[in-house]
Chain A
């Protein structure tokens, strides 16, 4: 609601640190509503921070080794944590306890590098293990199972396969629609799998990239930015992918980046990158050992470098853009989470009713009838007339509508994928509220 009263020209990218949350975190992610931040820590615990009160409101203690990734379900009810202790835990934040109830614990036979929810259904989980294997885990009654995603080998390779070992998977993410899984490999390829059939539908060789380290999608799902070991962030426009077919055919295509982002002087590597919600800005967290720098590029302006945010002395290790506004959460290696925002300029004019601030002097032109004395009864009558107009006090164009829009079905051809993903998704769709837990106060009375 406040957006309509705030100056729309301010909404670009954040410029200043609003607050620092001392969380001993190694990574921090906003939830889809933007009200909370989940922080994963090196000791295996995680915390939920409330951005309205800037206080930690939940402690999730379940892992015994450091947390490697965090993901939120689409309505923020469930939280997914993966850890080096070989486990993935799904937490249910709607439970009235602290720590919240676990909804599931999924055990693997190796350290887990990352885990993420299917964007439409929190019961479908994509897991990447440190040795380089990716699994799709389905917790639904009807589809329960665990399927490994397997790369189709090059046909010509078959003879020499004995001496070239399989490339390890180093990144795995759903695209924003959830139709496809994107996997990056240690040999610099992007593999695309269909989430429903788990078959490979495309392979992109990215020349010169080296090992894939991270992916981020613009909300529309049409653009992907990759981080790789050659210290360049590449943005790609993704092609339309074929539907999985019986012959297991797939698209074999080299992709040319539309933009390359790097630091030409210091040649810094990148820890993480994140698109703004409208996809018009990209934030890159520099892996600099002595400073805390976030680079901002203006995608709508041909990817021009816009600004470098300086967050002080504590080096940056993770960065995530707010899902709705110009705000960023960046994590320092000391475990503090910096929340960046756009400081709004003071508007003293707002304190005086009917007063308008102007930037420059304006020569005032008096209206012809400005000081005419009108008949009071006529004025009253006109006011009465105006008040006849119907008012709508009920309908609000809110986030719910927005969210539906996100998932609007583009065309009919992926109908089957959506239908599959939406099965048994009910418990995440319901409206719920995080219960406010009162801290005990012993010195009360």
Chain B
């Protein structure tokens, strides 16, 4: 291994949460860090206590499986994207659906809030990206964004840009206000793009593609500045996430049932979390603590919470 002064993480399994009865597709920590939300093909959204791993509540209402969930900024609401062609907004206070967003003409695959939580953006198998007014539950914009199912959409930290990616292998950057396409990133081999997210400062996008690679793109120069490899991703839409509570890492799931942790700068695999018994599709990093949540498919169906246990052993 080349010399690098990257800090060696030492994540250890602390909790195993079970409850879902079909593949788990998405995991998200609440912005205030107290809760973890999970969604699965069993049509349910479950809310867990992030520090104890206890189940808090289960939301049922979708008539088909759920592919993605997103928290509102105040941790009061969750939006879920489902194969029943709708996005539902759930209120934790009311314990029920408060809005149903109808408009997509096929499965809804991804959803995210803007920073003010006044807008939602969603993408789906109808190849469109839609922007919604949260307060009124109305569609504001329909962007004919891609020529294949849209696999991920997200807002930049200031809400002025939207990034989307699709199975057509393109990553597009949009002006949130006008809906204008500002930039398209494409790799030479055009692999199916399964997940994309802005960096915390929104100067880069982190994109996972089904050639078993995660790339960090500088979208201004259209240049790939970092490549992370070592994991397996050829079939499913697997998400990746920045870990920024301690040393900066990139965390991603893998079809070999493991979770990979890379050093952001050196691109080295720093730790591999083993334990799941099926492909890990969903990972999430805690907003304030050194904690990772991961969830797996059919043969396993557990959510695992991993905590960084400093110094004890494992320091190189």
Chain A residues close to B by CB (< 8 Å): 1-6, 35, 50, 52-55, 57, 344, 346-347, 350-354, 383, 386-387, 389-396, 398-399, 433-439, 441, 444-445
Contact = CB atoms under 8 A, between A and B. Distances in A.
Interface string B262-280: 0011010000000000000
Interface of chain A, main secondary structure? loop
Contacts of A389: 225
A6 B135 contact: no
B116 A436 contact: yes
Contacts of A393: 199-201, 203-204, 216, 242, 244, 248, 264
Contacts of A386: 225
A164 to B, nearest CB: 55
B182 interface: yes
A53 B119 contact: yes
A53 B242 contact: no
Given A5-B175, A347-B182, A439-B137, 20 more contacts: A1-B156, A1-B157, A5-B161, A50-B118, A52-B119, A52-B177, A53-B134, A53-B140, A344-B178, A350-B181, A353-B185, A387-B267, A391-B218, A393-B203, A394-B199, A396-B202, A433-B73, A434-B118, A435-B74, A436-B116
Interface stretch (B43-51, B93-101, B286-294): B93-101
B124 to A, nearest CB: 20
Contact of B135 (A344, A391, A439): A439
Contacts of A434: 116, 118
A441 B181 contact: no
A1 B89 contact: no
Contacts of A383: 227
A313 B222 CA distance: 47
A6 B100 contact: no
A1 B118 CA distance: 18
Contacts of B283: none
Nearest to B157: A396
B184 A438 contact: no
A351 B170 CA distance: 9
Interface in B197-251: 199-204, 216, 218-220, 222, 224-227, 242, 244, 248
Nearest to A435: B74
Interface of chain B, main secondary structure? loop
A350 B219 CA distance: 12
Contacts of B203: 392-393, 396
A5 B173 contact: yes
B225 to A, nearest CB: 5
In this complex, the interface size class of chain B, counting residues with CB under 8 Å from chain A, is 35 or more
Given A5-B183, A396-B202, A438 B158 contact: no
A257 to B, nearest CB: 37
Contacts of A344: 175, 178, 180
A353 B72 CA distance: 32
B157 A2 contact: no
Contacts of A352: 184
Interface in B102-156: 114, 116-119, 133-137, 140, 156
Interface string B161-193: 100000000101101111011111110000000
A2 to B, nearest CB: 4
Contact of B175 (A2, A353, A394, A441): A2
Closest 9 CB pairs of A and B: A353-B186, A396-B201, A393-B199, A2-B160, A53-B133, A353-B184, A5-B182, A350-B181, A1-B156
B201 A394 contact: yes
Given A390-B265, A393-B264, A396-B157, A436 B135 contact: yes
Contact of A387 (B135, B201, B204, B226): B226
Contacts of B219: 5
A324 to B, nearest CB: 11
A6 B160 CA distance: 11
Nearest to B98: A438
Contact of A436 (B134, B157, B265): B134
27 contacts: A2-B161, A5-B220, A52-B114, A52-B177, A53-B135, A53-B140, A344-B175, A350-B180, A350-B181, A351-B184, A352-B184, A353-B222, A387-B267, A391-B216, A392-B203, A393-B244, A393-B264, A394-B199, A396-B200, A433-B73, A433-B117, A435-B74, A438-B98, A441-B98, A441-B99, A444-B97, A444-B100
Nearest to B145: A351
Given A354-B222, A391-B204, A396-B201, A439 B180 contact: no
B159 to A, nearest CB: 8
A445 B204 CA distance: 41
A436 B118 contact: yes
Contacts of A1: 156-158, 160-161, 202
